[in-house]
């Protein structure tokens, strides 16, 4: 249990592996971050808070992570991996019809982020301060957009959906809506759609946008 197996957590994101008791400390930092994020925003959490929460001093924190953002990034890697896995499973599994397919995809997307509420909110917040966080978000967004654009094009090709704006642009607009609506619902800031109405409303807009013809 000391070494041997490949590191199970956070494969990428360039950080030196640490062995022996170091792993415990690292996990303690991550757990502290996740716990503190439940009660306050990322900007209200200092490196000192994370260090003390993990039972170490501030300089020692820097032995494990290069910055506060890196901790968030490591935490986000897990969520992203989970989201990608869920997304892949949903898109690849057969569905009774397009309506059900989109419905399942939306519900899975929402569920993933809802089960990591604090992290999702912190993600959105850190996007404006950390380039790495912004990049990670852009990657995830791009993957989702491409999947959706492909699906839209497929529906158009088989004559199920009418022509319209470039599939990619449509996918970007609709994915942006998802993101913002979900964030508002999770963060509680400002007007938001009620929790149980999020998926139905998003679904309705997606379906009409993809399959409906505009009036006139």
Task: State the residues that interact with DNA by CB under 7 A.
Answer: 18-22, 25, 46-48, 56-60, 62-63, 66-68
| DSSP symbol at 159 | T
- Of 9-17, 57-65, 72-80, 195-203, which part binds a second copy (CB under 8 A)? 195-203
The tokens 């309506």 sit on which residue?
Answer: 99
Q: Is 215 in the site for a second copy (CB under 8 A)?
A: yes
- Of 13-21, 63-71, 76-84, 206-214, which part binds a second copy (CB under 8 A)? 206-214
Q: Which of 24, 129, 154, 195 binds a second copy (CB under 8 A)?
A: 129
| Distance in Å, CB of 3 to DNA, minimum | 10
Residue 94 interacts, among a second copy, DNA, none and using kind-specific CB cut-offs from 5 to 8 Å, with none
Task: State the SS3 of 78-133.
Answer: HHHHHHHHHHHHHHHCCCCCHHHHHHHHHHHHHHHHHCCHHHHHHHHHHCCCCHHH
First-to-last C-alpha distance (Å) of the chain: 68
Burial (0-12, 13-18, 19+ Cβ within 10 Å), 105 = buried
Number of residues interacting with a second copy: please give it, by CB under 8 A: 52
Q: Is 97 in the site for a second copy (CB under 8 A)?
A: yes
Helix (H) or strand (E) holding 36: helix 22-37
Of the two residues 15 and 117, which places its CB atom closer to DNA in the complex? 15
Instruction: Please report, as residue ranges, which positions from 23 to 52 form the binding site for a second copy (by CB under 8 A).
Output: 41, 43
For residue 138, give the 3-state DSSP assignment.
helix
- Of 13-21, 68-76, 78-86, 176-184, which part binds a second copy (CB under 8 A)? 176-184
Which token pair is 138?
A: 């852009």
- Of 18-26, 52-60, 80-88, 201-209, which part binds a second copy (CB under 8 A)? 201-209
């Amino acid at each position: 249990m000391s070494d041997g197996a490949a590191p199970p957590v956070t494969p990428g994101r360039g950080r030196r592996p640490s062995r022996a008791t170091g792993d415990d400390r690292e996990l303690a930092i991550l757990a502290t971050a996740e716990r503190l994020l439940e009660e306050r925003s990322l900007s209200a959490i200092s490196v000192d808070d994370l260090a003390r929460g993990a039972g170490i001093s501030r300089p020692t924190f820097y032995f494990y992570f290069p910055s506060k953002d890196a901790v968030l990034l490591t935490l986000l890697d897990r969520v992203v991996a989970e989201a990608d896995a869920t997304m892949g499973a949903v898109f690849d599994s057969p569905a009774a019809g397009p309506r059900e397919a989109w419905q399942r995809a939306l519900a899975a997307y929402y569920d993933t982020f809802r089960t990591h509420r604090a992290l999702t909110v912190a993600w959105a917040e850190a996007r404006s301060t950390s380039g790495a966080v912004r990049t990670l978000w852009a990657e995830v967004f791009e993957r989702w957009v491409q999947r959706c654009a492909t699906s839209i094009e497929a529906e158009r090709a088989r004559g199920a959906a009418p022509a319209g704006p470039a599939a990619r642009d449509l996918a970007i607009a609709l994915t942006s809506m998802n993101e913002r609506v979900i964030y508002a619902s999770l963060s509680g800031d400002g007007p938001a759609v009620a929790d149980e109405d999020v998926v139905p409303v998003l679904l309705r807009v997606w379906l009409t946008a993809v399959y409906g013809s505009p009036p006139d």
